[in-house]
Amino acid sequence: MKIKKCKEKVRKKYDNRRNIILYKTRKIKIGYKKFRSIRHEILETLEENIKKRGLRGPFIVTRIGNELVTYTDFNRLIAAKEMGKELVPCVIISNELMNKRIKRLNRYRRYDKLKTI
């Protein structure tokens, strides 16, 4: 997957399969409209885990216009922003691939709702 050079790009780190690029957290938007943040206590424990272990994997984002949008890992992104992290690792994927991921995520979300009924 080729990634065009961007002004906000800071550093590239190469993985076997993908380019991981560090982006500013304020540039990444949450794309899920029904998203509700978790309770503050749980968010604090998530922040502690990030401090101890770091961000385990990159954020999966897609480019919509000039913005980077994520549809997963919302709470991890909010925790990173509240911790004051300026840069987070990201992998940019195409809109087509992101749509496939969203469909799969929505299937899991519907299944979880059915389990609670």
Per DSSP, the three-state class of 38 is: coil
User: Total domain count for the chain?
Assistant: 1
Instruction: Return the H-helix or E-strand segment holding 28.
Output: strand 28-30
Phi, psi of 51 (to 5 degrees): -65, -40
* Domain, as residue range, for 48: 12-116
CB 76 within 8 A of CB 82: no
Q: Is the pTM of this model over 0.75?
A: no
Q: How far apart are CA 104 and CA 100, in angstroms?
A: 6
Asked whether residue 68 is domain-assigned, the answer is yes
CB 12 within 8 A of CB 21: yes
pLDDT, tens digit (0-9, with 9 covering 90-100), for 49-101: 999 998 888 988 888 888 888 887 888 898 999 899 999 999 888 878 777 87
Asked whether residue 4 is domain-assigned, the answer is no
- pLDDT of 116 reads 61
Which CATH number do you get for residue 22? 3.90.1530.10
